[in-house]
Amino acid sequence: MPQVFVTTSWDDDDRTGLRVAELLSTHHLTGTFYVPTGRLGGNSLFTPDDLRTLTAAGFEIGGHTVSHAILTEISPSECAREVSDCKTTLEKILGREVTMFCYPKGRFHGGVVGAVRQAGYRGARGTQLLSCVRTFPAFAMPITVQAFPHSRSNYARNLARLGEFRALLRSSIDLLQFKDWLSLGKSMFDRVLRKGGMWHLTGHPWELEKLQLWQPLQEMLAYVSNRDGVRYVTNGQLLEAIHGCALAGSETLREKDPQSVAH
């Protein structure tokens, strides 16, 4: 039987993330919340107690800088502070190690990856879409689908800008049959069930609320949940299962600065 992993990840500090966590728990799913630390406790934002509650419920908290700075646009010293101070703050709140990081806007290059490594993270999530592969660089974990109404051309441009033409070719049938992100997510999940691999849903809780995407999200979660033989994991657990702790710290990655539609 093919090995199948399902993971989810959710970006930013908006407290609507608690509603996402509730929906995930209802469907016996898990995931990683990537949180910038600079505004915690502000109006309608996560509080430290919220992060502890999420952790106690089995969710993973990952770093997302202090101020949501675009790391390719600041100095190396500022970049180092953004990634390391975020990690330190989260670890003080949670009382445990924070191992995963997410690049704001998906922007990174070799220097940024070096700073993330140096801060002590073991892996990082990028924004390459339409990926179901089970092998990927530890510091550029890809995504299958984003809970957002992208057009077919946006998905194609995402991969073309990253130079991921093989991934674009593998996804050509899905894109030809494309209706919306929900149907795309289902068809790619079906492919993973047949052939094995990783299915990774991502999104922004505040965007789900703004665009009222809760109903299709519930439909998507119900579709992928409670399947025999599927491992439902956080991003960190996925990385450990694929790379192992030792490899996760030493994975090499070519330099690139993606201009991604996944934001």
b or e along 57-95 (b: 16 or more beta carbons within 10 Å of the residue's beta carbon)?
A: eebbbbbbbbbbbbbbebeeeebbbbbbbbbbbbeebbe
The confidence score (pLDDT) of residue 164 equals 64
Is residue 85 in a domain?
yes
Kindly report, residue by residue over 63-100, the tens digit of the pLDDT: 999 999 999 999 999 999 999 999 999 999 999 999 99
The confidence score (pLDDT) of residue 177 equals 72
| Cβ(122)–Cβ(251) below 8 Å | no
Is residue 168 in a domain?
yes
Is residue 260 in a domain?
no
Is residue 256 in a domain?
no
What does DSSP assign to residue 71? G
Is residue 220 in a domain?
yes
Question: Distance between CA 133 and CA 147 in Å, rounded?
Answer: 19
Query: In the structure, what pLDDT confidence band is assigned to residue 248 with cuts at 50, 70 and 90?
Result: very low
Residues 6+ apart with CB under 8 A from 205: 10, 12, 14, 16, 17, 19, 20
What value does the mean pLDDT take over residues 233-253? 70
| Cβ(31)–Cβ(224) below 8 Å | no
Domain limits for position 163:
4-250
Is residue 258 in a domain?
no
Question: Distance between CA 140 and CA 94 in Å, rounded?
Answer: 25
3-class secondary structure, 62:
strand
Kindly report, residue by residue over 99-143, the tens digit of the pLDDT: 999 999 999 999 999 999 999 999 999 998 989 988 899 999 999
The confidence score (pLDDT) of residue 259 equals 41
One-letter amino acid at 201 equals L
Query: In the structure, what pLDDT confidence band is assigned to residue 153 with cuts at 50, 70 and 90?
Result: confident
Please give the sequence-ordered ranges of beta strands (E in DSSP) within 182-225, or none if there are none. Answer: 197-203
Give yes or no for residue 249 having a pLDDT over 50: no
Rg of the chain taking only CA atoms, in angstroms: 17
Is residue 211 in a domain?
yes
Q: How many CB atoms lie within 10 A of CB 249?
A: 16
User: How many structural domains does the chain have?
Assistant: 1
Is residue 259 in a domain?
no
* Total-model pTM: 0.90
CATH of the domain at 179: 3.20.20.370
Kindly report, residue by residue over 25-69, the tens digit of the pLDDT: 999 999 999 999 999 999 999 999 999 999 999 999 999 999 999
Strand (E) or helix (H) holding 170: helix 165-170
